[in-house]
């Protein structure tokens, strides 16, 4: 099948299988899982993932062809986004063959939902200062502690957990990555209402939760390098969410706004032009990153630039849209009231804008690091979290 045929087939499949009432969020989990199974069976889940572990083994070209078609539809896939974008690729990159065999196919087929358990009340930007402990006990580990802001945890079957396994070494050197069973009786998930009024993220408590050593990802005390893999995937997958125009259902898109506002006013026109310029600039940058990846140039830390630009565009766009539409945009029920509430999330989740700028400065431009007090001190002697 050539690319054009592939794309036509994808469109036909989407037309038949995407339902008008579908929302990205997990309104109806059964529907989302049923959709995902059909999505996988049709060959559209894990398009570029290795066939050996259940992926399709195709190239970025097919992935992009599919994404170009999918943009015209709304798919109920939000609950799978952490697994597909972050934890799945981490298991593929850094897991054992047994782990790949066990976890990848059910993840791609939507049979199992994943979450990412990194941030804690005392450790977000500086996630390496986290305090959740994992202590070895024979052939398994015992975990105690608390995570927070964990997206999708309330639906998750598995979590990718970063925990401290050694307090006598500097903070980056005493972390280990695990796959934790979210159904373990010692795991408590409490949904947290976010500023939009929805509960998409959670607090997660671990009370003597056991994890078999086979579910450790990477070496003991080498969890930081595994986490870096996850975070790289995270930034790329967040930023790749923007496509070339056609932002279906986005009430702050140019297409939506041109219907909603009076474009005979030259000031309005110019603001919409600014929105167009910024959206196109980012969409083209994302396309270029995708083409580079296809050509074998891994974007690495440059993905942080795309993530930062998306966060800024999202804030700008919702802000502009509410200004243009006026009073009605801030009344419940107006889609922009939701959009303006959701907008800050992009600038926080997956690393804040400041952290993205640090990464671009340090890793992409090679600028000198800030003086640090936390790199050589053993973790147990370090000041962490919120302290007066």
Partner 1 sequence: MKLVLSQEQQQLRESVRSFLRAASPLPKVRHGYDPQVYARLNGELGLSGLIVPEEYGGAGAGMAELAVALEETGAALLPGPFLATAFAAIALTRTPDKELLSGIAEGRVAATLTEHELACDGTTVRGTLTQVLSGMEADVLVAPASTGDGMVMVAVELGAPGVSRTPLETLDVTRGQARVVLEGAPCRVLGPQPESGIGDRLCVAVAAEQLGVMRAALDAIVAYAKIRVAFGRYIGSYQGVKHKLADMHCKLEQAESIVRYAAWAADEAPDELPGAAALAQAYVGRACFEVARDHLLLHGGIGYTWEHDAHLFYKRAKADEVLLGPPRLHRARLAQLLEL
Ligand X SMILES: Cc1cc2nc3c(=O)[nH]c(=O)nc-3n(C[C@H](O)[C@H](O)[C@H](O)COP(=O)(O)OP(=O)(O)OC[C@H]3O[C@@H](n4cnc5c(N)ncnc54)[C@H](O)[C@@H]3O)c2cc1C
Q: Considering only residues 21, 327, 333, 371, which one is a binding residue for partner 1 as defined by CB under 8 A? A: 371
Our CB check for partner 1 shows the closer of 48 and 74 to be 48
Q: Considering only residues 29, 192, 364, 382, which one is a binding residue for partner 1 as defined by CB under 8 A? A: 364
Question: Cβ 322 to partner 1, closest distance in Å?
Answer: 19
| 259-318 binders of partner 1 (CB under 8 A) | 263, 269-270, 272-274, 276-277, 280-282, 284-285, 287-288, 291-292, 295, 297, 302, 305-306, 308-309
Report the SS3 class of residue 357. Answer: helix
Question: Cβ 113 to ligand X, closest distance in Å?
Answer: 12
Rounded Cα–Cα distance for residues 210 and 183 (Å): 11
The one segment of 6-14, 20-28, 42-50, 359-367 that binds partner 1 by CB under 8 A: 359-367
Q: Which does 365 bind (CB under 5 to 8 A by kind): partner 1, ligand X, none?
A: partner 1
Query: What residues have CB less than 8 Å from 302, skipping those under 6 apart?
Result: 289, 360, 364
Question: Cβ 125 to ligand X, closest distance in Å?
Answer: 3
| 225 within 8 A of 51, measured Cβ to Cβ | no
Our CB check for partner 1 shows the closer of 204 and 272 to be 272
Q: Considering only residues 15, 249, 328, 354, which one is a binding residue for partner 1 as defined by CB under 8 A? A: 354
Q: Which residues form the interface with ligand X (CB under 6 A)?
A: 82, 115-119, 124-126, 149-151, 201, 345, 348-349, 351-352, 354-355, 358
Query: What residues have CB less than 8 Å from 113, skipping those under 6 apart?
Result: 79, 80, 83, 152, 155, 156, 157, 158
Question: Cβ 278 to partner 1, closest distance in Å?
Answer: 8
Specify the residue for token string 């996850």: 230
Question: Cβ 5 to ligand X, closest distance in Å?
Answer: 38
Helical H segments across the chain, by residue range: 3-17, 29-41, 60-70, 81-82, 88-94, 97-108, 223-239, 254-260, 266-294, 303-325, 335-346, 353-359
Question: Cβ 189 to ligand X, closest distance in Å?
Answer: 12
Question: Cβ 245 to partner 1, closest distance in Å?
Answer: 11
In our burial notation (b when 16+ CB lie closer than 10 A, e otherwise), range 209-235 reads bbbeeebbbbebebbbebbebbbbbbb
Distances (CA, A) of 353 to 302, 306, 344, 346, 357: 14, 11, 10, 9, 6
Name the residue among 113, 135, 110, 159 with its Cα closest to residue 210: 135
Computed on alpha carbons and rounded to an integer, the radius of gyration of the chain in Å comes to 22
The one segment of 111-119, 159-167, 187-195, 362-370 that binds partner 1 by CB under 8 A: 362-370
Q: Which residues bind partner 1 (CB under 8 A)?
A: 254, 258, 263, 269-270, 272-274, 276-277, 280-282, 284-285, 287-288, 291-292, 295, 297, 302, 305-306, 308-309, 354, 356-358, 360-362, 364-371
């Amino acid at each position: 099948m050539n690319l054009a045929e592939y794309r036509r087939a994808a469109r036909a499949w989407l037309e038949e299988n995407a339902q008008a009432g579908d929302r990205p969020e997990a309104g109806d989990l059964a529907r989302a899982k049923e959709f995902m199974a059909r999505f996988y069976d049709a060959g559209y889940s894990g398009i570029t993932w290795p066939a050996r572990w259940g992926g399709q083994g195709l190239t970025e070209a097919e992935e992009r062809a599919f994404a170009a078609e999918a943009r015209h539809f709304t798919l109920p896939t939000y609950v799978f986004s952490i697994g597909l974008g972050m934890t799945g690729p981490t298991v593929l990159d850094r897991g054992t063959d047994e782990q790949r065999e066990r976890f990848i196919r059910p993840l791609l087929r939507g049979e199992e939902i994943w979450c990412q358990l990194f941030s804690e009340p005392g450790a977000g930007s500086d996630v390496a200062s986290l305090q959740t402990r994992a202590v070895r006990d024979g052939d398994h580990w015992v975990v105690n502690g608390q995570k927070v802001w964990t997206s999708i945890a309330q639906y998750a079957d598995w979590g990718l957990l970063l925990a401290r396994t050694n307090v006598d070494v500097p903070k980056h050197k005493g972390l280990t990555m695990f796959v934790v069973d979210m159904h373990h009786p010692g795991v408590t998930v409490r949904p947290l209402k976010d500023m939009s009024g929805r509960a998409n993220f959670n607090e997660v408590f671990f009370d003597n939760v056991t994890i078999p050593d086979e579910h450790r990802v990477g070496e003991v005390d080498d969890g930081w390098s595994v986490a870096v893999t996850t975070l790289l995937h995270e930034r790329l997958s967040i930023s790749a969410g923007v496509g070339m125009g056609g932002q279906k259902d986005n009430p702050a898109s140019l297409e939506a706004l041109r219907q909603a506002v009076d474009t005979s006013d030259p000031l309005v026109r110019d603001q919409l032009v600014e929105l167009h310029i910024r959206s196109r600039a980012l969409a083209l940058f994302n396309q270029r990153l995708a083409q580079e990846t296809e050509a074998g140039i891994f974007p690495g830390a440059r993905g942080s630039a795309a993530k930062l630009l998306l966060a800024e565009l999202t804030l700008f766009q919702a802000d502009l849209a509410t200004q243009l539409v006026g009073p009605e945009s801030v009344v419940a029920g107006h889609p922009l009231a939701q959009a303006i509430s959701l907008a800050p999330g992009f600038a926080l989740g997956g690393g804040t804008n400041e952290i993205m700028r640090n990464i671009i400065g340090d890793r992409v431009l090679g600028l000198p690091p800030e003086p640090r007090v936390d790199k050589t001190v053993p973790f147990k002697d370090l000041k962490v979290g919120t302290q007066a």
